A and B are shown apart, each in its own frame.
Chain A
Amino acid sequence: MNAIVDISHLSARYGRTMALDDVSLQVDKGELFGVIGPDGAGKSTLYKILATLMPPASGGASVCGLDIVKDYRDVRSRIGYMPERFSLYKDLSVQENLKFFAALFGVSVKKNFDLIAPIFRQLERFPDRKAGALSGGMKQKLALSCALIHRPEILLLDEPTTGVDAVSRSEFWDILQSLKNQGITILVSTSYMDEANLCERIAMIDRGRILGTDTPARLVARLGERLFAARADNMFRLLEELRRLPQVKECYTFGANLHAVVSDDFDPQQAARMMEHCGLKGVSITPAEGTIEDLFIKLTANEQ
């Protein structure tokens, strides 16, 4: 094993609340690793602990072979951390923020500029603009530049694309892919399930516990449910009517369709006839392939 991040029986608490409960996880060097889970699952707590900003209640972790508690100073120079909330200095300009972060880590902007050049190029047009006046997508690019300026071995990105549009998100993932190709290990959390598919491996986390760690394809294979896609002229009514059928275990919206998780005795033709009998028109119920999102819903829905 070549684990660059090694988390072992890690627990964390806020008062009486267990934020992380016996979490163990290994991330390999050079891996693009996703952490997905609902709000309050413990994702940000995990990041804070790895970034040495919060001590664990029990258990521990090492980063690049360094202990996150004992060797916290050394850990900090090896990681680049981009927190969930925008955390640059809003009153400093684009250029000043970058210089400031370089100075904190004792490096020169010039020496490491090659690493951030593809990202920073889009910001160069307005070096004097205050960081607070940048748009969402640009803030995110500046934050990533600042997290990279000391050439860390590991990037910790906590929901970096929340509030970012689909086109900019694609660009951002292209950037992550190229950083990975340069040997940087990346831990990224997200609430977009399409992004989970872009990771080599993902850990699903809920209520402080790891529900599963594997490649997206192997996790989806664990779904193990009969799944159908359904459509009709009135989707909300269709949702209500399908939920009434005893053979339908779960039914939820899924883009232009509904997804229905059904038991073995479900007959799609019969169900379609019943829906039409309820007054719905243009009913279609066809077999569907499961996705990460279906698995996520299955694993977390009952608890909320």
Chain B
Amino acid sequence: MNNSEYAITVKDLTKKFGDFTAVDRITFDVRKGEIFGFLGANGAGKTTAMRMLCGLSVPTSGNGRVAGFDIVRQAEMIKRRIGYMSQNFSLYQNLTAEENLRLFGTIYGLSDREIKTRSQRLFQDLDMESMRGKRVGDIPVGWKQKLAFVAATIHLPEIVFLDEPTGGVDPVTRRKFWELIYKATADGMTVFVTTHYLDEAEYCNRVSIMVDGRIEALDSPDNLKKRYDADTMDEVFRMVAKNAKRAE
């Protein structure tokens, strides 16, 4: 188990593709139980950074720990200890809600009994009993999103990475999803999330803004607004990101 007070610590993390420095010496920590918003323009290097944190890509230099494991030497351990949900692919549309949870639970090495008791509780908590036996392709998008989050966290990871979880989602569904995030962190989970909806940045405990591979700003939404003399995170983001030089 990770005994540190941090779920993520990263120092001078760098990734180069040939001459191109996608991620340029980024340094930051994420405390346990924190909602950390990882913002940046398209092409700023967010996805590359996130892939390194999830153990899917080896850094060119620098180091870091996620969930207590070294991102270079213990990448396999990290994959087992984190949850990951992406906008594009999260669930198997042709399987039922219950089958999806069983699949993800099995992949993460849970026993049949654990899967059964956890699924049962989750369906109850989320008021999703009636959706259990339905094909995921047939259930409304709001439920699908909740289910994707549940599938990504069925193994009770210390930290969950959410890559644009609300992309293209309407205002009501987005809000319901954020309430789910709040609940998970109230139970002690750490949430690392990317989004282009800047009202959602206000819901994070702390936010970083990446520009051209570097972290240009990192603080709580209130402090960032004070520093940039802005009323909203939208204004802060525009001020920080408009100086980007990188040609996507």
Contacts and interface: CB of A to CB of B under 8 A. Distances in A.
B237 A39 contact: no
Interface string A160-194: 00111111111000000000000000000001111
Nearest to B235: A166
A256 B221 contact: yes
B196 A163 contact: yes
A165 B170 contact: no
Interface string B131-168: 00000000011100000000000000000000010011
Nearest to B246: A135
Given A165-B41, A166-B198, A137 B171 contact: no
B233 A255 contact: yes
Contacts of B140: 40, 304
B67 interface: no
B238 A163 contact: no
Nearest to B140: A40
Contact of B42 (A136, A192, A254): A136
A9 B176 CA distance: 33
B42 A168 contact: yes
B35 to A, nearest CB: 10
Contacts of A125: 247
Interface in A213-249: 235-236, 239
Given A137-B248, A191-B169, A166 B232 contact: no
Interface stretch (A59-67, A146-154, A294-302): A294-302
A56 interface: no
Given A135-B42, A301-B172, A304-B173, A167 B248 contact: no
Contacts of B225: 256
A96 interface: no
A236 B199 contact: no
A255 B248 contact: no
A38 B170 contact: yes
B226 interface: no
Contacts of A163: 42, 87, 164, 167-168, 196
B170 A296 contact: yes
Contacts of B242: 167
A166 B199 contact: no
Contacts of B168: 39, 159, 162-163, 191
Interface string B196-223: 1111001100000000000000000110
A192 B167 CA distance: 10
A162 B167 contact: yes
Interface string A249-280: 00011111000000000000000000000000
A165 B43 CA distance: 10
A34 interface: no
Given A125-B247, A192-B197, A165 B40 contact: yes
A40 B141 contact: yes
A297 B173 CA distance: 10
Contacts of A138: 248
Interface string A119-150: 00010010000000011111000000000000
B237 A255 contact: no
Contact of B171 (A159, A162, A293): A293
Contacts of A135: 42-43, 248
Contacts of A301: 172
Given A137-B43, A255-B232, A255-B233, A167 B238 contact: yes
A80 interface: no
Contacts of A252: 175
B143 to A, nearest CB: 9
A42 interface: no
Contacts of B172: 38, 296-297, 300-301, 304
B128 interface: no
A208 interface: no
Contacts of A167: 41, 237-238, 241-242, 244
18 contacts: A41-B170, A135-B42, A135-B248, A138-B248, A159-B168, A163-B87, A163-B168, A165-B237, A165-B241, A166-B241, A168-B41, A191-B170, A193-B171, A194-B234, A253-B203, A254-B199, A297-B171, A304-B172
Give 6 nearest A-B pairs by CB, closest first: A38-B170, A135-B248, A162-B168, A255-B199, A39-B141, A236-B182
Interface of A: 37-41, 122, 125, 134-138, 159, 162-170, 191-194, 235-236, 239, 252-256, 293, 296-297, 300-301, 304
Given A159-B168, A191-B168, A256-B225, 5 more contacts: A138-B248, A165-B196, A253-B175, A297-B171, A304-B172
